Structure 1
Amino acid sequence: MDLNKLDIFRLTNSKMGWLSERQTVLAQNIANADTPGYKAKDLKAPDFSSMLNTTRDVPVAKTSEGHLMGTIKRADFRTIQEKSRDIYEMNPNENGVIMEEQLIKVNDSNMNYKLVANIYKKNLSMFKIALGVNR
């Protein structure tokens, strides 16, 4: 069975691949921190929210009179992403790499990778349990 045909595995693989590539770009930025005229680069994030919107929603079924249908709409849980502020700082050699900013991005990518890898691992574990396969 190809797990990439399942939405959760396709999305986690895509996110982990992007985070790995971003880590490489950020490492290049840090390596060129003293290169005169070098400008920091970053990968443009794919629109993961649109990928999520292409997944199939499973409707909640009320199978018993005792079940509650819920009163909160799904759209009420959407978050608004805060815009990052511009940092105007330049090294003496006119280099655009700000080490603190790069290290924050590296740490953010690292935490997100661990989170997505854990989601992948937990879902794979649930599939193995459902199939009766030894872990």
Structure 2
Amino acid sequence: MSEFYLFGLSSRRAEWLSARQAVVAENVANANTPTYRAKDVTPFSEVLETTALQMSGSNPSHLVASAGRDFGIDEAAQKPWDVTHSGNSVSLEQEMLKAGEVSRDFALSTSVAKSFHRMFMTTLKG
């Protein structure tokens, strides 16, 4: 089923959400570290714009581009709501909002993939 673009897109989105959750967790863990600058990952829309679609072949004689799974995420400095006297720019409220967004987006992505999978299986069963 990996030949379907929606499943690949869903997988890539889940990887991006996982990376974003890891960065949010790192920011929260360093909320009291002096001079720590809060980070965020590149928006998913920008990741998709820089990702080229890869050709695939079902026969060894087909031309196939290198189908590596390089999923580099660039961490970009976020705009902090406030900076403390210690130079720390982590806002726990902002990080909790991002954690909520990650949770909501993950639930939506998995629901769409699950619905597509059910539809696909229904067509196969006839």
Alignment of 1:1-135 (within 5 A): 3-46=1-44, 47=46, 50=49, 86-132=79-125
Q: Which amino acid aligns with 2:83?
A: M
Q: Which amino acid aligns with 2:105?
A: N
TM-score (norm 1): 0.65
Q: Give RMSD over aligned pairs.
A: 2.4
Q: Give % identity.
A: 29
User: What is the alpha-carbon distance in structure 2 between the residues aligned to residue 130 and residue 18 of structure 1?
Assistant: 30
User: What is the alpha-carbon distance in structure 1 between the residues aligned to residue 49 and residue 24 of structure 2?
Assistant: 25
User: What is the alpha-carbon distance in structure 2 between the residues aligned to residue 21 and residue 87 of structure 1?
Assistant: 20
- Cα deviation, residue 109, structure 1: 1.1
Displacement over 3 Å in runs of 4+: 48-51
Q: Which amino acid aligns with 2:11?
A: N
* Structure having the larger proportion of residues in strand: 2
TM-score (norm 2): 0.69
Gaps of 5+ in 2: 54-78
User: What is the alpha-carbon distance in structure 2 between the residues aligned to residue 16 and residue 88 of structure 1?
Assistant: 27
Inter-CA distance 15–120: structure 2 relative to 1 (3 Å threshold): same
Gaps of 5+ in 1: 55-85
Give 1 or 2 for the bigger CA radius of gyration. Answer: 1
Q: Deviations over 1:82-120 (max 9, x none)?
A: xxxx55411232211011111111111110111001001
- Cα deviation, residue 41, structure 1: 0.9
Inter-CA distance 88–20: structure 2 relative to 1 (3 Å threshold): closer
Q: Any conservation in 1 of the 2:38–2:80 contact (CA below 8 Å)?
A: no
- Cα deviation, residue 131, structure 1: 1.2
Higher relative contact order, chain-length normalized (CA < 8 Å, sep 6+): 1
User: What is the alpha-carbon distance in structure 1 between the residues aligned to residue 125 and residue 110 of structure 2?
Assistant: 22
User: What is the alpha-carbon distance in structure 1 between the residues aligned to residue 94 and residue 41 of structure 2?
Assistant: 15
